[in-house]
Amino acid sequence: MSAAASARQILKNLHEVMASRMHAQGKLDRVAEIVGESLSSEVCSIYLLREGMLELFATRGLNQSAVHVTRMAIGEGLTGTIADNVETLNLAEAKAHPDFQYRPETGEDKFHSFAGVPIVYRERAVGVLCVQHVDPRRYEEVEIEALQTTAMVLSELIANAELVDEEEARGLSEGMTGQQTVNGLTLVSGLSAGNAVYHQPRVQITQVMADDIEAERQRVYLAFDKMREQIDTLSSQAEFGVGGEHEEVLETYKMFAYDEGWSRRINEAIDSGLTAEAAIERVQQHTRMRMREIDDPLLADRMHDLEDLANRLLRIVSGQLGTAASQGLRRDTILIARNLGPAELLEYDRRRLKGVILEEGSLTAHVVIVARAMGVPVLGRASGIRGIIRDGDEILLDATAASATIRPTNSVAEAFEARFAKSREKQAAYASLRDVEPFTRCGTRIQVMMNAGLRDDIGSLAMTGADGVGLFRTEFQFLVSATLPQRERQLRLYRDVMDAAGDKPVIFRTVDIGGDKSVPYLATEDANADENPAMGWRALRLALTREGLMKAQARALIEAGGGRSLYVMFPMVSEPWEFDAAKAVFDEQLAFLRTKKKLLPDAIYYGAMLEVPALAEMLDLLLPKLSFLSVGTNDLTQFLFAADRANPKLAQRYDWLSLSIMRFLRRVVNSSVGTGVDLGVCGEMGGRRLEALALLGIGFRRLSITPAAVGPIKELVRKVDLAELGEAMTGWLADPSVNLREEMTAWAEAREIEVDG
Ligand code: PEP
Ligand code: MG
């Protein structure tokens, strides 16, 4: 008999047993017989989990008196090891295995070979199916597959006959119980708590045995087609792209998706009588086992990719397509994913989404920019979480400390709650400042504005009491879109944003795409050739070359601003002529719209971002042209220090409070004094208390910051005497040996100004 035929025969026999009216125990006994016979094994045993122990429930070949007597702990003996690691063992000589344990009551001493597979239910091992043989022989692959198939059938039986206590099953495998800590990289800092929800829930296989093999074959064939199509689309879309690392993953996906061997093995499994879902899972189990035998971290990574892909195939074939977003979040949630696209993140209910843990992720990933804007803490680079976090687990996320506690003990939860409460208390105190204008102690009104990029962000204006939006990153719409947003779509967004902001000003920054914020629909050879993307063909440089893009945006902004004041800011201006060229595009569109008798803005205020150091030398020429100038300290400081802002290795190296940065910024302030140009800062720096204090100290009076920082900065402003601070600052900046951070911290503490929040 061929391998497929014999596998089919086993399944047929199992089918009959399962369909019979026999009692569950009777069925288990029969299964042990069928498997033992088919594999010519003297012994076939079934262990199931009961009260935390693996209990021998049925056997052919061992002493019957051992049934319901022999019990093994998880991790104990070969059986316990299989359940513990949820993995298959195939041993020619059982006794040679370090975990082997002899149980005299079973009478197993005469058997040499041993093979066992876990019986998996809801992703946990709830039992073990094993065979033993007198001769020392390794079982063949087809035999192992037959065991795996039988284990799947058994898991169906277990579910139907409620042979295993569900609660007990949940708590079984090592790593899935008790408190665990996961470490990673802070992508968006913050503190939050919630229950784990996997972005892509695992497919539940409800039917193992096929009724119609040909139909199953068709289903899997169509699913493969669809999956390949999806992977091809993914590789050509920006929405899911997060840079080079992701591209590599997609390449691997492609390799697997088109791998003939994989689809052939699935088809063979279907031939043996499995449903498409069970066949995919069975092949996957087998691959897992093979991969584990090869101890290579690179392969382990690839295994991860294949798991992802097999899951995708399962979702397609089973029709269980939705992500957790489509099912809706029912409670406070910490979302778990390998990676996410910005658009995927935006699908979640912001009220329930409390945090995100990613296995991958990097600081520059678009999803991180979006999460920051949403105020959702993100922990990235958290590897191995699938083996630790279960759906529904309680999680305390401390993204600031780059860690998360899974299933916290009561005392840890209490300590966290105390910290959390403190931070909430602070938040409440900040919230109470919402309607309080930020005047310094000496009576100077500081403009505290917020940064935004999404339509929904505008809600934070009212919540925080910010003075307006000092930086609206229009490129967010471009980043979350698979195709170039047409003028109409842009117009709608800008109009919505201005409507929602009411009387408060919104400074729209024209698109800052290109370089690392690449979008494929704009990709050209030039952009792709950038070796140094931050300094490459991006922002205004790109927009002025792609004039059509700039024109469309200019027209959309002018139309949206009809009947009100419009604020437009150009990013990455490096020389004054670039500002002129950009403004000329707006002037041209304005003239055009005037001829069309469109409602025009009452006034248009133009500004520039200062983020390229060279521009600071040209302010005498530039400032007379501007209404406002906004210093983008994120880019500016990376250019001043020639230190990539996204490189974690450099993140701690150069201080925003270095004398060089502060002296540079003070010169910018001095250049603007008396020009009537409204000067501000819109980089992340302004949202940190000590840094904000320094900026106030050198003369900045407008800060545009992340919404979460508006409250804390308002509170800080109210404690400051600018004259006193300015004087201290002058002294510090004059002394090249000073450690500004230390000096300022001491200065602030002496005045009971908190600086670490
Ligand atoms: C900056 O560079 O400081 C800035 C505000 O712009 P972005 O972070 O969007 O580059
Ligand atoms: Mg910038």
pLDDT tens per residue, range 385-429: 877 888 899 999 999 889 999 999 999 999 999 888 887 888 888
741 touches 690 (CB < 8 A): yes
**Closest ligand 1 atom number to CA of residue 634:** 3
pLDDT at 714 over 50: yes
**Closest ligand 1 atom number to CA of residue 683:** 3
- Average pLDDT in the chain: 87
Amino acid at 158: I
Q: Which of 475, 479, 609 to mutate to test the pocket of ligand 1 (most atoms within 8 A of CB)?
A: 609
User: Could you give the CA distance from residue 378 to residue 397 in angstroms, rounded to a whole number?
Assistant: 9
- Find out whether the beta carbon of 473 lies less than 6 Å from any atom of ligand 1: yes
- Find out whether the beta carbon of 360 lies less than 6 Å from any atom of ligand 1: no
Residue 367: band (very low, low, confident or very high) from pLDDT cuts 50, 70, 90 = confident
User: Could you give the CA distance from residue 85 to residue 175 in angstroms, rounded to a whole number?
Assistant: 10
228 touches 250 (CB < 8 A): no
CB-count exposure of residue 31 (10 Å: 0-12, 13-18, 19+): buried
- Helix/strand number for the chain, H first, E second: 29, 22
Q: Helix %, strand %, coil % for the chain, to 5? A: 50, 15, 35
Amino acid at 444: T
Q: Which of 473, 513, 664, 681 to mutate to test the pocket of ligand 1 (most atoms within 8 A of CB)?
A: 473
Q: What is the crossing angle of helices 576-595 and 547-560, to 10°?
A: 60
For residue 124 the two structure tokens come to 């946990």
User: Could you give the CA distance from residue 735 to residue 739 in angstroms, rounded to a whole number?
Assistant: 9
Q: Looking at the chain, how many residues does it have?
A: 757
Which segments of 117-165 does DSSP mark as H helices, in order? 141-161
User: Could you give the CA distance from residue 551 to residue 543 in angstroms, rounded to a whole number?
Assistant: 9
pLDDT at 662 over 60: yes
Q: Give the per-residue pLDDT at 476.
A: 84
Out of 88-92, 187-191, 593-597, least confident range? 187-191
For the entire predicted model, the pTM comes to 0.65
The helix or strand, by DSSP H or E, that contains position 631, with its residue range, turns out to be strand 628-631
371 touches 187 (CB < 8 A): yes
User: Could you give the CA distance from residue 371 to residue 337 in angstroms, rounded to a whole number?
Assistant: 14
pLDDT at 319 over 90: no
Strand, helix or coil at 74? coil
Residue 381: band (very low, low, confident or very high) from pLDDT cuts 50, 70, 90 = confident
- Find out whether the beta carbon of 611 lies less than 6 Å from any atom of ligand 1: yes
Of 645 and 304, the structure prediction assigns the larger pLDDT to 645
For residue 681, the ligand closest to its alpha carbon is 1
Out of 160-169, 318-327, 650-659, 704-713, least confident range? 160-169
Percent of the chain clearing pLDDT 90 (strictly above): 53
User: Could you give the CA distance from residue 450 to residue 471 in angstroms, rounded to a whole number?
Assistant: 7
pLDDT at 564 over 60: yes
**If you average pLDDT over each of 1-15, 152-166, 343-357, which comes out highest?**
343-357
pLDDT at 240 over 60: no
CA 281 to chain centre: 25
User: Could you give the CA distance from residue 648 to residue 669 in angstroms, rounded to a whole number?
Assistant: 30
627 touches 606 (CB < 8 A): yes
Q: Give which of 72, 171, 53, 55 is closest to 122, Cα–Cα.
A: 171
The closest residue, in CA terms, to atom 6 on ligand 1 is 632
Compute and round to an integer the Cα radius of gyration of the chain: 32
The closest residue, in CA terms, to atom 7 on ligand 1 is 634
**Closest ligand 1 atom number to CA of residue 471:** 5
Rounded mean pLDDT, 603-629: 98
CB-count exposure of residue 361 (10 Å: 0-12, 13-18, 19+): buried
Q: What is the pLDDT of residues 35-54, one digit of tens each?
A: 999 998 999 999 999 888 99
User: Could you give the CA distance from residue 544 to residue 502 in angstroms, rounded to a whole number?
Assistant: 31
Q: Give the per-residue pLDDT at 304.
A: 65
CA of residue 450 to ligand 1 center, whole Å: 13
Q: What is the pLDDT of residues 508-531, one digit of tens each?
A: 999 998 766 667 677 654 544 567
- Find out whether the beta carbon of 683 lies less than 6 Å from any atom of ligand 1: yes
The closest residue, in CA terms, to atom 9 on ligand 1 is 473
**If you average pLDDT over each of 148-162, 301-315, 694-708, which comes out highest?**
694-708
Q: Give the per-residue pLDDT at 482.
A: 67
752 sits in the region (left: phi over 0; alpha: psi -120 to 50; else beta) called: left
Of 357 and 149, the structure prediction assigns the larger pLDDT to 357
Residue 586 sits at φ, ψ, to 5 deg, of: -65, -45
- Find out whether the beta carbon of 692 lies less than 6 Å from any atom of ligand 1: no
Q: Which residue has the tokens 């002025």?
A: 544
Q: Give the per-residue pLDDT at 527.
A: 47
CB-count exposure of residue 634 (10 Å: 0-12, 13-18, 19+): middle
Q: Characterize the bridge pairing of strands 353-358 and 333-337.
A: parallel
Q: Which residue has the tokens 């009961």?
A: 50
User: Could you give the CA distance from residue 194 to residue 357 in angstroms, rounded to a whole number?
Assistant: 12
Residues around the ion ligand 2 (C-beta < 5 A): 611, 632, 635
Strand, helix or coil at 474? coil
Q: Characterize the bridge pairing of strands 469-473 and 447-452.
A: parallel
Strand partners, 466: none
144 vs 290, 565, 601, 623, CA distance in Å?
12, 73, 74, 76
Q: Which of 364, 370, 635 to mutate to test the pocket of ligand 1 (most atoms within 8 A of CB)?
A: 635
